[in-house]
Amino acid sequence: MHVIAVLNQKGGSGKTTIATHLARALQLDGGDVLLVDSDPQGSARDWAAAHEEQPVPVVGIDRPIIDRSLKSIGRKDFIVIDGAPQIEELAVSAIKAANFVLIPVQPSPYDVWATSDLVDLVKARIEILDGGLKAAFVISRAIKGTRIGGEITAVLADYGLPVLASRVTQRVIYPTSAATGRTAFEQEPGGEAAQEIRGLVAELKGLLK
C-alpha cells in the first residue's frame, strides 16, 4: 500500500486540486484508492459531496491521528492525503502516515520560502526512516509561457529534495470540474489537464517503485 501525502502549509498551493486528481487518476488506472481529507475546512469532502455518484471514496481525518487512524482502514492500493494548511500537528501526522510526500509549490518566491518549515519536517522524518520515506516538489498553478517556473525549479533544488519534471498548470478546467465534484478526466478526458495529471501519476509511480 502506498500513502501519498499532498502537503504544503501555505494555503492556495493547489493541494486539493492535485489530491483529488491524483486519487481519480490512480483509480482510473485500476487502483483501489481512498482519499483522506485532513483539512478542517473539508474542501475534499465538499468536492466529493458535490457529485451524487462520486466514484472516489473520501473520509475526513482532521485531527493529528492520521497515522494511527489509517491502520484501522482496510488495505488499499493507494491512499492520498489532502493536507491541511497552517496546522503543523496535522502535517506531522500526515508525514508519519506517508511513504511519499508531494509538496505542491506555486512559482513564486514567497511560496518557495514558505515551504522551508515543511521541508525541515519531511527531512527529519526521512532521516529517521533511513529511506523509508520519499518526497518531491511539484510546480503547481504554473502559468504557461513564463520563465519563472524554470527559475523556481533551480531555487527549490537548493532544499535538497527532487523537483518533478511534471507540472500542474493554471487552468480553468480545474475549478470548473471541482464545482460539480468531478475532475478533468470526466469533463475533458483527452484534454491537456488530464494529460498533465497522467504525466504526474506516471512520474510518481516511477519514484514509488
Residue 52's pLDDT band, with cuts at 50, 70 and 90, is: very high
Instruction: Output the pLDDT for position 11.
Output: 79
Residue 85's pLDDT band, with cuts at 50, 70 and 90, is: confident
Give this prediction's pTM. Answer: 0.94
Instruction: Output the pLDDT for position 143.
Output: 79
The mean pLDDT value of the chain amounts to 92
Q: Which residue has the cell 465534484?
A: 181
Using the predicted structure, report yes or no on whether residue 29 has a pLDDT greater than 90: yes
Instruction: Output the pLDDT for position 107.
Output: 87
Using the predicted structure, report yes or no on whether residue 204 has a pLDDT greater than 80: yes
Return the amino acid letter for 177. Answer: S
What's the pLDDT tens digit per position in 91-126?
Answer: 999 999 999 999 999 988 888 888 999 999 999 999
Query: Yes or no: is domain 2-208 CATH 1.10.10.60?
Result: no
Q: What share of the chain is helix, strand, coil (3-state, %, to 5)?
A: 45, 20, 35
Instruction: Output the pLDDT for position 22.
Output: 98
Around 10, how many Cα atoms within 13 Å sit in the side-chain half-sphere? 19
Instruction: Output the pLDDT for position 89.
Output: 92
Helices (H), 33-187: 43-49, 66-69, 88-97, 109-114, 116-129, 148-157, 173-178, 184-187
Instruction: Output the pLDDT for position 72.
Output: 85
